[in-house]
Structure 1
Amino acid sequence: MSSREQPLSIREKLGYSLGDLAANLIFQTLITYLAFFYTDVYRLPPATAATIIFVVGLLGAFVFTPVIGIVADRTSTRWGKFRPWILWTAVPFGVLSLLAFSTPQLGERGKIIYALATYSLLVLVYAANNLPYSALSGVLTGSMAQRNSLSSYRFVAVMIAQFIIQVLLLPLVLILGDGDRVRGFESVMTLFAVVGTVFFLITFLTTRERIVPTREQSAGVLQDLADLLRNRPWQVMLALTVLVFTNLALKGGTYIYYFQYYMSEAALAAFLRDSGFNGLIASLNAMLTGAGLAGFQWPEDPATSTFSLFNGGGIVCMILGIGVSRRLADRFGKRDVFGVALLVSTLFLLAFYLFPPTAVGWVFVAFMLHGFCYGITIPLLWAMIADVADYSEWKNHRRATAIIFSAMLCGLKIGLSTGGALVAGILAHYGYQAGLETQPAAVVDGIRLTVSVYCALPFLIAVALLFIYEIDKRMEVRIEHELDQRRRAVDRPLHAEVSSP
């Protein structure tokens, strides 16, 4: 049976998705809390912490990721090209995750060296784990419909990890550390390390590579790079990846300012009270303290508390969007569904500029609807990147899955860095002054523009780029069919050799 005909089992889809849940427990913690951990827990100077994060980030994007991509494409074992990397990195990933969030007292210079060394090693192992993991989705099956389904499973797992980190991590740190952040982070990261290691091993054991390039498809590094530069769908997807993650970093970094300085504090407090949220936290605390544990220490100020609540609601809506993504893509094609969903989600972003400071309910509705529409696009982005690897094989008769994914991961890191830098740059442009309870009117209007108009621009450019992306529904079917025919033709002589006397 060909890889095109053979559906992936639910067991394999779940096993594969656990790998991304494990990786994102660490990745989401890094992008959300590493700076906070370095400055407020490990007590590194802010400038030193920023330098470590920036320099290691550049190493990850421009050194570790491309090198791993080149090596992974040339890996050959009895387990395949990409699965063994998940096995080899499972334990080191867990150990380094714990070490990176540990706080040995080594003196000022020793602490800097320790942070730099552990974070660098963690980013290296993350690349050696996550790049082959991502590329694995392109070789588990040749069926593009099955990839749509696989991506949906995968990104539900990602959203679960994101919910745990963005909504529950700090309360877990305070509960498990009994109010001590140092002990709390060590306890939480120990838990994540153990769970992550087990999940990676499950991913390795439950998956199987079915798309195996023949020796004739092998090429040198320069040839792989030349193929990429001639691959227009790859060029479009690289630009689109940069734009999407620029938006995510810009949006994620600015929302808290929108709630803190634009939304009415009285209206936010009333929303928390009238929605029953405050009562829920009080009941939860009573249960925890009754069990002898520390209380659930949710942020007390209305802006931070409401922002955390909205984050949780947004993630739930993203999961719902992911749930309908596969069926829409199977019927209409990934490109068209991605473009329409991204455009509609952008309209809800633009609405943020129109809401008055007291319209908490309307902000909540727009936030949820934006999350649902954006959720539809989440699995499609990575399924489309796997399709680009198929397109490259179809066009050039050579397959280089990992290097294509490595380029996209570079784009992801460039986008996150660009968006993060834009947050600080835009705030500085409008005259933001840290520590003020009330910002000048120009700053408030700049924040409102950022979460709406400025955040919408990368998405709108991405939608426009899809008009020159060639892989529509019709081409998906053609590429899948012709590649399957080629693989069958290769398999027939091999079977003939085995059966001959």
Structure 2
Amino acid sequence: MNQDSEKLSIREKIGYSLGDLAANLVFQTLITYLAYFYTDIYGLSTSDTSLVLLSVGLIAAFVFNPLVGAMADRTQSKWGKFRPWILYTSIPLGVVAILTFTTPDFSYNGKLAYAVVTYTLLLLLYAMNNLPYSALSGVITGDMAERNSMSSYRFVAVMLAQFFVQVFMYSLILKIGDGDKAAGIEAVMTYLALLGVLLLLITFFTTRERVVPKPEQQSSLKEDLKDLRGNRPWVIMLLLTTLTFITLAMKGGAYLYYFENYVNQEALRLFLNPVIGSLSNYGLNFFGEDPVSAGFGLFNAGGIVFMIVGITLSKRLADRYGKRDVLGVGLFVSTLFILIFYFFDAESLGMIFTCQMLHGFFYGITIPLLWAMIADVADFSEWKNNRRATAIIFSAMMLGLKGGLSIGGALLTLVLGLYHYAPENLSQPESALMGVKMLVSVYPSIPFFVGVGLLFWYEIDKKMEIQIETDLKERRER
């Protein structure tokens, strides 16, 4: 395979990125609303919510992902290894996403069982769809610069999904449900599921697999697992991904609680009046008169817009300094803008919104790099062992994603319970308000800081990236 054949068209980059747009219509909803849905809409206790999120999530992480990764690596079809998984799981994933956010008229125990079953099926289908989708990025091209470029397209799509879910979805839930949040979220998820299925089908039809392992590179599952145990970059990326998604689940899930309970609503209304007035003048008043939905939406909007700016700079910085070093610096600085939320009182709205935007910018720089580095780890494994097992390498990302999401979500509701948060109360005790404040500041900053420390042991720097790419290109041209 020559170098020119590994260059990707804009059409294929966009087509690939739409798969992550689809996945994140579900995933961002899980991060932002699942804990809130279970406690404040569905009616589960904080302790039962923690149990569901943790137990089901860890099963998905440590059972579903390795199995799917091993099977996907051994899939043989006219469409390749990974694309068939995207095709065949698209519709079931959409259906189960709707069911997960449906509130049936069951007894409490019946609703608890329903939550366990639907969430389990959702995470299983998400693994069967998104793990092969992620692994596809490692075989679309072997050109690392093209991967960096594709990752930037991909994560602009992620930010678009995140923008919709975090900025507009809460207001839509209230409007479509006419105040009935259970009916509203079910209706919104139905529309998102239909859109997601369409986007996944576009991804299937616009991409192709170019990096095909030679027959002599085929390996057994035992050999794949042995290679992983000796692959220190893989271990570090597994831990880093887990820590990253613990933070994302914890703070992302806490923001709605933060705006509903901690932020002073009258101060928020006064702070937002100029913005809401300007939007209304242009017919863009999406939020109505509710200060919580407006504040929550615009807070997230500021962070996401600046994340997208950071994403656009990511490839240029990574090409110059290497992914590892750029990721480490970006992650460290972004964490400082999480930690500082501890010092803001309920009326420090200017600082709250400003620091969210600064956090978004620096974290945005890191977003494409995490996924691109997993593809580099797959190359590192092939370079070192002369065998390629892309999907099982990418299972690190999915295992860390599911594990981190589960641990972070469980910690979120566990901390709320420990600080005596009561969903049925219109006014929360001071202890609960402190718990919410800690969940958007101190607690989520800890995993990010640990992740920065882990990067000191990650050996694939800029020099090694070039060496691996050059050596593998020579092998594949023989």
Name the TM-score, length of structure 2 as normaliser.
0.89
Higher alpha-carbon Rg: 1
Matches within 5 A, 1:5-404: 6-37=6-37, 51-102=51-102, 115-177=115-177, 181=181, 183-256=183-256, 258-259=258-259, 263-273=263-273, 275-277=274-276, 280=279, 284=283, 298=288, 300=290, 302=291, 305-355=294-344, 357-404=346-393
Contact 1:3 1:141 in 2 (8 A): no
Q: Matches of 1:355 and 1:43 in 2, distance apart? A: 31
Q: Do 2:381 and 2:387's aligned partners in 1 also have CA atoms closer than 8 Å?
A: yes
User: Aligned with 2:204: secondary structure?
Assistant: helix
Letter matched to residue 92 of structure 1:
P
Q: Using the alignment, how far apart are the partners of 2:47 and 2:226 within structure 1?
A: 40
In the alignment, the residues of structure 2 paired with residue 426 and residue 445 of structure 1 have an alpha-carbon distance, to the nearest angstrom, of 10
Q: Separation in 1 of the partners of 2:336 and 2:64?
A: 37
Q: How far is the alpha carbon of 1:233 from its aligned partner?
A: 0.7
User: Which residue of 2 is the match for residue 494 of structure 1?
Assistant: none
Does the residue aligned with 1:81 lie in a helix, a strand or coil? coil
Distance change in 2, residues 1:283/1:330 (3 Å): closer
Q: Once the two structures are superposed, what CA deviation does each residue of 1:429-453 show, in whole Å capped at 9, x if it has no partner?
A: 566676373643x765665555334
> Contact conserved, 2:314 with 2:365, CA < 8 A, in 1?
yes
SS at 1:138's partner residue? helix
What is the distance in 2 between the residues matched to 1:69 and 1:196? 22
Give the direction of change, closer, same or farther, for the CA distance of 1:46–1:373 in structure 2 (3 Å limit): closer
Q: Which runs of 5+ in 2 are unaligned?
A: none
For structure 1, which segment, 319-328 or 22-31, has the greater mean C-alpha deviation from structure 2 after superposition?
Answer: 22-31
C-alpha contact 1:3 1:143 (8 A) present in aligned 2: yes
Mark the CA change 1:458 to 1:280 in structure 2 (over 3 Å): closer, same or farther. Answer: same
Distance (whole Å) between structure 2 residues aligned to residue 3 and residue 36 of structure 1: 49
Query: Structure 1 residues 344, 225: closer, same or farther in 2, change over 3 A?
Result: same
CA–CA distance in 2 between the matches of 1:266 and 1:75? 58
With over 3 angstroms needed to count, the CA separation of the structure-2 counterparts of 1:153 and 1:66, relative to structure 1, is same
Equivalenced residues, count: 477
3-state DSSP of counterpart to 2:77: coil
Is the partner of 1:2 in helix, strand or coil? coil
Over residues 322-352 of structure 1, what are the superposed CA-to-partner deviations in whole Å (9 max), with x where a residue is unaligned? 1111111111111111111112212222333
Distance 1:255 1:246, change over 3 A: same
Question: How many angstroms apart in 2 are the aligned matches of 1:108 and 1:422?
Answer: 22
After superposition, the Cα gap between the structure-2 partners of 1:299 and 1:341, relative to the gap in structure 1 and judged at 3 Å, is farther
Q: Is the 8 A contact 2:237 2:396 kept in 1?
A: no
Whether the aligned pair in 2 keeps the contact of 1:3 and 1:210 (CA below 8 Å) is: no
Equivalent-residue separation in structure 2 for 1:303 and 1:471 (angstroms): 44
Amino acid at match of 2:197: T
The residue that corresponds to 1:437 in the other structure is: 427
| CA deviations over 1:268-318 (Å, ceiling 9, x no partner) | 222112x322563597588xxxxxxxxx56572x45542332012111111
CA contact (8 A) 1:3 1:211 kept: no
Change (3 A) 1:222 1:352: same
Higher mean alpha-carbon deviation, 225-234 vs 339-348, is at 339-348
Q: Which stretch shifts more, 256-265 or 77-86?
A: 256-265
Q: Which amino acid aligns with 2:271?
A: F
Counterpart in 2 of 1:497? Answer: none
Kept after mapping to 2: 8 A contact 1:427/1:443: yes
Q: Is the 8 A contact 1:4 1:143 kept in 2?
A: no
**2:398 corresponds to which of 402, 409, 430:** 409
CA-to-partner distance for each residue in 1:449-493, whole Å, 9 max, x for gaps? 55334333222222221111111111100000000101111xxxx
Change (3 A) 1:226 1:347: same
TM-score, normalised to structure 1, is 0.86
Give the letter aligned to residue 461 of structure 1. Answer: V
* Aligned residues of 1:261 and 1:439 also touching (Cα < 8 A): no
Q: Do the aligned partners of residues 50 and 282 (structure 1) sit closer, same or farther apart at CA in structure 2, a change above 3 Å counting? A: farther
In the superposition, relative to structure 1, how do residues 50 and 344 fare at CA in structure 2: closer, same or farther (>3 Å)? closer
CA contact (8 A) 1:321 1:376 kept: yes
Residues 248-278 of structure 1 deviation map (CA, whole Å, 9 limit, x = unaligned): 12222444555556554443222112x3225
Deviation of 1:197 after TM superposition, in Å, equals 1.6
Classify the secondary structure of the residue corresponding to 1:398. coil
Q: Give, in whole Å, the separation in 1 of the partners of 2:212 and 2:118.
A: 35
Which whole-Å CA distance do the structure 1 matches of 2:177 and 2:432 have between them? 38
The 1:170/1:208 distance shift into structure 2, 3 A limit, reads same
Deviation at 1:132, TM superposition (A): 0.1
Matching residue within 438, 441, 458 for 1:469? 458
Percent identity over paired residues: 58
Superposition deviation, residue 218 in structure 1: 1.4
- Could you say if the C-alpha distance between residues 39 and 370 of structure 1 is closer, same or farther in structure 2, counting changes exceeding 3 Å? closer
Q: How far apart are the structure 1 equivalents of 2:289 and 2:33?
A: 15
1:18 partner letter: L
Return the offset for 1:246.
Answer: 1.6
Letter in 1 for 2:384: K
